[in-house]
Structure 1
């Protein structure tokens, strides 16, 4: 079967994995099921997929990073910014140095720069994999927000470190001062590229919609192209396309709060992006399984090794590296939490030290996944002089093995650590949602009173409109604890339906606008706002489709 057939088979495997993970009697993380299906595809003897590293990188990473930035809960990100920055920046550098020297000590044949590159690409974590592991034993919401925030930032920091390490391996030189200056440019210009391109696209879409109307398909396609555009523009000017994609996603979350897109566009866009995320993450893990036999063979007999090594040597090193990553993460989490507690006590604040179970869970939740896989496969195939890149096959195997080991360890240990762990309920989030619902309801009631009939009506139709308005008003008053509605005259059903639709749409728009306004004013988290607005969008789409719009 040709490459197109193999790609289609992998997509079908992604679809099948979504059902298999629910049918299996034991709780397995979705990525492990996808890796197994990929290995099954390879076992059929089909021609393996071959992707040029740069193509693979740009195909998978920009949309995934963009979506991470777009959907990360900003309130949780800013609330726990200290902990998240310690994990996303401090822990990444700690991991690169600690794991880099350890890998070089374990495998002297692997050059130090390549060891640092491998450590850098192993630093980013994958909250999607953690979420799939803990699907049957829910992770505490605040811990999940911290893991998501960490993943968003350590994807960027780990991949930037990886880029510098690969450059050092290719050139044979590394200057800390030059790297620091380059990092400043790479980071700032990359972030600026993502922000400016997203804002420009938002303005362009708004102008086009104003003059020509909004075409949902075109708008969604532009949104899908945005992360690739941000990445390519940033790379063209020598900046970080990774940070550009993340910055574009974060900026898009604020552009979305303008509320100018049609409800149907937002609904379709969310569905499309959910599908893209599921497909890309799934294909990457299926691809890992499909490549595993070749990865193992290349690692065993690669030209960079002085002599062939057996599978136990490879497995032993992979396990030692996996264990070292867990211990490095545990040490960093423990020390940073104690330091934060001491600093809080010194400043006269209450210092809280989380339970040991929660600390261990945080350490084991550092699961490696899609970003690690995408990054390691972009290692150059050859040096500038044409000779093979040193240790590439071995590095790809070790990274792939660490992904699998981290998934297995977390899937076994996390449910046991989290089971029965009682944490204080998140009453603040519930109260926030209740305030938002009440504010939206009051705004809707005011909009119904102001809307009025869409055109002059005869006496009979005016009564129907009044009755319809009262019916819609009753729906909202019920939320506040009172009100009921009367029936409508059956002979004027069509007029009644149109009248109800008119007032309902006016009320829904008012609800949405007040929620978006609260989010813009930081009175409501964007995560809660997005969920409530989506509920309104779904109701609005039903009413608009009823009217033929």
Structure 2
């Protein structure tokens, strides 16, 4: 391992340079990184890279899921729960089923069980790719929320399908009631363990004498504990990390200090950037090992590429049909139940949603986790072909959809889906005005007779009143700072109540002002 350490350090530097290049030429960085990994793999002096499923599932997946669950808004996720749930579970199942029939029909020697196994592997889209593209072009808020929410859950559903299909292939039989019980335990057990571990870590953060460094280290450990604890009892580690992460994210202002929150954001942002970069480069670097296995099996290279393209086309078509089907069902359901948005989305939104189906490293890791031999000692059927098809699907969707998605977004005119009557700029002004009025009222009512004696508090009052007043000679006494910190905390609590009470208000605006309060508090504490 130490012999190749300079290579991995160089790889990180290459990733940084390639991401800068991707931003310069306005191309999603996963596409550039996978292509770069492919080119690097052909260089003769590059050491052989062997990707194990444990490397992805244990090292990479938990922190990436945890970081994503902290970034998404629980309120927005709940708002779009029906379409998120349908894409993360129902669409994944029907996608796997469609792949099973396509593989059984077009690929010689592929049984339905093997096809369903392949379907479980390639059915979940990769949100990192779509998220990278969303940073290049502007899309409606609802679109990004649906894609992010789907990505948090579809890995769990696809891996559950994969496990059941793997058992069916290995044993030659499928016991539906046993599978139903296992499915229920994987869902409920994973969510329960994630919430339990999250609650324990929340108590540790709150009651132990931690500081910003310790809080950050604990946050790095948390997703691994959640994932491993759930997997040890044969439940879903993915759901454990997601549920626990959502719990801790929604309660972050209850158990973390402003310093811990700000430092944690910076650390996690950098860590997620490096991990995402590495996994996409590793996909490209793993090509020689995949093709070597294909040759050992005696499969045709050209034929395998053709099979991969057939499965890729199946995935794209099924997702587009699913997107339009979801819209059709919603338009019918709005006559009987309350839906998140009853307006007609037009043809553009489902088309865009259907085209954001790039596959990623979770699919490759699942394929790599297929055992080499069955319990009987016989070779696992079509293992190398499944691996190669998975690689073609990842590469094909990244290149085709990843490169064309920005042009598609720019070409079609997406409807403007605002959450309320106000725009984002108006929402910013509303929050600033109402929060300033609340802070000013709290200052004058709670600290009457005291704030008039402090230059700092007078300056803050003038600021909240909208009067420009900057007194560089203001004396920051201990008493005035304590009052100011208390007012900042009152503003923070007011924002959290506002976010909870107004279901239609954009939480991104709330989070922005919460972060500004944390920054202001840390700035004053450093004086």
TM-score (norm 2): 0.90
Partner of 2:517: 536
Quote the Cα distance in structure 1 between the aligned partners of 2:47 and 2:308: 27
1:471 maps to which of 438, 453, 459: 459
| Cα deviation 1:357-389 (Å, max 9, x = unaligned) | 322211111221233233333323333344443
8 Å CA contact 2:454, 2:480 repeated in 1:
no
Partner of 1:288: 283
Quote the Cα distance in structure 2 between the aligned partners of 1:357 and 1:521: 32
Quote the offset at 1:433 in angstroms.
Answer: 4.6
2:390 maps to which of 399, 413, 434: 399
Partner of 1:409: 400
SS of match in other structure, 2:125? coil
2:236 maps to which of 230, 237, 240: 240
Quote the Cα distance in structure 2 between the aligned partners of 1:529 and 1:487: 29
SS of match in other structure, 1:302? helix
8 Å CA contact 1:53, 1:380 repeated in 2:
no
| Cα deviation 1:6-49 (Å, max 9, x = unaligned) | 3323322222222121233xx32101111123234323332222
Partner of 1:37: 36
Q: 1:229 to 1:346 in 2, by over 3 A?
A: closer
- Superposed counterparts of 1:324-343, under 5 Å: 324-343=314-333
Quote the offset at 1:188 in angstroms.
Answer: 0.6
Partner of 1:50: 50
Quote the offset at 1:422 in angstroms.
Answer: 4.3
Moved more, 53-62 or 217-226: 53-62
Alignment size in residue pairs:
519
8 Å CA contact 1:13, 1:37 repeated in 2:
no
8 Å CA contact 1:440, 1:511 repeated in 2:
yes
Quote the Cα distance in structure 1 between the aligned partners of 2:235 and 2:131: 32
8 Å CA contact 2:125, 2:360 repeated in 1:
yes
1:377 aligns with 2:368: yes
**Is there any run of 5+ residues in structure 2 with no aligned partner, and where?**
none
Quote the offset at 1:447 in angstroms.
Answer: 4.5
8 Å CA contact 1:382, 1:389 repeated in 2:
yes
1:484 aligns with 2:468: yes
SS of match in other structure, 2:521? helix
1:368 maps to which of 359, 363, 367: 359
Partner of 2:494: 514
Partner of 1:421: 413
Quote the Cα distance in structure 2 between the aligned partners of 1:174 and 1:528: 49
8 Å CA contact 2:69, 2:152 repeated in 1:
yes
How much is the aligned-residue C-alpha RMSD, in angstroms? 2.9
Partner of 2:24: 23
8 Å CA contact 1:66, 1:249 repeated in 2:
yes
Partner of 2:14: 13
Moved more, 368-377 or 267-276: 368-377
Q: Rg: which structure is higher?
A: 1
8 Å CA contact 2:140, 2:416 repeated in 1:
no
Q: 1:338 to 1:539 in 2, by over 3 A?
A: same
8 Å CA contact 2:66, 2:245 repeated in 1:
yes
Quote the offset at 1:102 in angstroms.
Answer: 0.9
8 Å CA contact 2:349, 2:414 repeated in 1:
no
Moved more, 29-38 or 74-83: 74-83
**Is there any run of 5+ residues in structure 1 with no aligned partner, and where?**
457-461
Quote the Cα distance in structure 1 between the aligned partners of 2:343 and 2:508: 26
TM-score (norm 1): 0.86
Quote the offset at 1:486 in angstroms.
Answer: 5.8
Partner of 1:185: 185
